[in-house]
Structure 1
Amino acid sequence: MAVLLVVEDDDTIGAALSVSLRAHGHEVVWERGGHAALRDAGRTEFDLVLLDLGLPDLDGVEVCRRLRAAQPGVVIVILTARTDEMDVVVGLEAGADDYLAKPVRLAELHARLRAHLRRGAPVAQPVAVASIGDLVVDTARRRVTVGDQEVPLRAKEFDLLARLAAEPEIAISRETLMADVWDENWFGSTKTLDVHVAAVRRRLAEYADSAAVPQIVTLRGHGYRLEGPRRSG
């Protein structure tokens, strides 16, 4: 049984989510506003938070940021009716692990939660330390460095980069990445993969002017490949 926090101001949606989650054996705390959710996070350790971005009292992205600071290990899944991809990106950059677009399909919701709540499932990591150019991915210590600088990555960003770095220059399909980094029985959209790839790309780009860093190449219709840094001259 997991302890879940649902932050949703719509009574119909909040009630439906709470009933369905409890029916699947979870303990559920439902709050309609950001302030109440943050108070709860200060006194209860949650396994996962379902967070609506459109809250009446606080911006959902700010609530996400504060929840992540209060409970670094909690899984945060944002719920959004916003269709602008940038809103999703901002939410993920604020600390969310995943997102679901409204209206939420309960079958997809429960499949996602099962994937996120799995414990101790190792990401496929054939090598303990991978070095590509100036980038070093140390899976044992869960540490990424470029030269002597540590690259700050969130958990899934690290897992994704580690999976790509385990087989540099090899084309890896979307299905393989979703199975290895998220869950072998992932159900629904794989857009979260694209958003996480974009986030890792931005992280690596911060070091590109001063170091030899690899790049993640999109293979349209297939997946991604981590390529070594281009050499000048």
Structure 2
Amino acid sequence: MRLLLVEDDPRIALPTARALSDAGHETHVEPDGVRGLAAARCGRYDALLLDVMLPGLDGFEVARVLRAEDAEVPIVFLTARGALHDRVDGLDLGGDAYLVKPFELPELLATLRAVVRRGQNVRSARVAFGGGAGLLDARHRQVWWQGEVVGFTARKYALLEVLVLSQGRWFTREELVARVWGPDFGGEARVVDVYVSYVRRKLSPSVLESSRGLGYRVP
């Protein structure tokens, strides 16, 4: 993989880049948000590893700008800010994963493989659902319902995307939490119920089915 690491602390940037290179990945390092954003715009990277507390532009702002420009590069936040609201903010801004420092190299490598594989699988997918009333465009992270674009936050879109791209399959709350919120999520699995209710209100009550003991699915 060709990776961009944006990290201002050389005590973290240098050993991380060296470890990634030793694992066979070409790794480019930028020390601040402004230069990181410029590099992300100009280069073709398989993933962006982004610190949050950066000089110039913070990592959240870099991610916000890239997603507003329809950049599709997977973004993995690497940060010491591990509070729940920080993780939620990062994922809602378009991050694909959020690792809290200190992290282990195997965890980072596994996360990279997962987000890159997921991006490759859904990059060009346009999938109809809801009996043809809905269309999900995974390339541009957009949803149409009855011909109209429907706005979703990144997290709510991610929940719908998981279900739409596996239509007919039941997902438990715990499976959806792991896929949408990530393995480090510290909240209750019933948060899924709240997000399902939101999706139903935005689209249709029948768009997501539920079953006790099985979970949720798009029929």
- Map of 1:185 onto structure 2: none
**Which letter maps to 1:117?**
V
CA contact (8 A) 2:176 2:192 kept: no
- 2:130 is paired with a residue whose SS is strand
Q: What amino acid maps onto 2:37 in structure 1?
A: L
Kindly provide the CA deviation profile for residues 146-169 of structure 1, in whole angstroms up to 9, marking residues without a partner as x: 3332235668555313146434xx
| Alignment-mate amino acid for residue 22 of structure 1 | S
Whether 1:162 aligns to 2:164 is: yes
Q: Normalising by structure 1, report the TM-score.
A: 0.68
Q: Say if 2:7 and 2:13, in contact at 8 Å, map to a contact too.
A: yes
Change (3 A) 1:68 1:223: farther
Look up the match of 2:6. Answer: 7
Mapping of residues 1-233 of structure 1, within 5 Å: 2-70=1-69, 72-118=71-117, 120-121=120-121, 129-131=128-130, 136-137=134-135, 144-152=143-151, 156-157=158-159, 159-163=161-165, 165-167=167-169, 170-172=170-172, 174-175=174-175, 189=183, 191=185, 201=196, 204=199, 207=202, 211-212=204-205, 214=207, 224-226=215-217
Q: How big is each residue's C-alpha offset from its partner over 1:23-63, in whole Å with a ceiling of 9 and x where there is no partner?
A: 11111111110011012123212111000111122222111
Where do 5+ consecutive residues of structure 2 fail to align? Answer: none
Aligned-residue offset at 1:214: 4.3
Q: State the alpha-carbon separation in 1 of the partners of residues 176 and 83 from structure 2.
A: 27
> Unpaired runs of 5+ in structure 1?
183-187, 229-233
**Structure 1 residue identity aligned to 2:216:** R
Shift of 1:197: 5.5
User: 1:212-232: CA deviations, max 9, x gaps?
Assistant: 46468798xx8842489xxxx
Q: Give the length in aligned residue pairs.
A: 208
TM-score, scaled to structure 2 = 0.72
Q: 1:115 to 1:11 in 2, by over 3 A?
A: same
Query: Post-superposition shift, 1:76?
Result: 0.5
Distance 1:217 1:86 in 2: 28
Q: What CA RMSD, in Å, does the superposition of the two structures yield over aligned residues?
A: 4.2
Report deviation, 1:80.
2.1
**Residues 144-194 of structure 1, C-alpha deviation per residue, up to 9 Å, x if partnerless?**
433332235668555313146434xx453645996xx79xxxxx92639x7
Cα gap change, 1:177 to 1:130, in 2 (>3 Å): farther
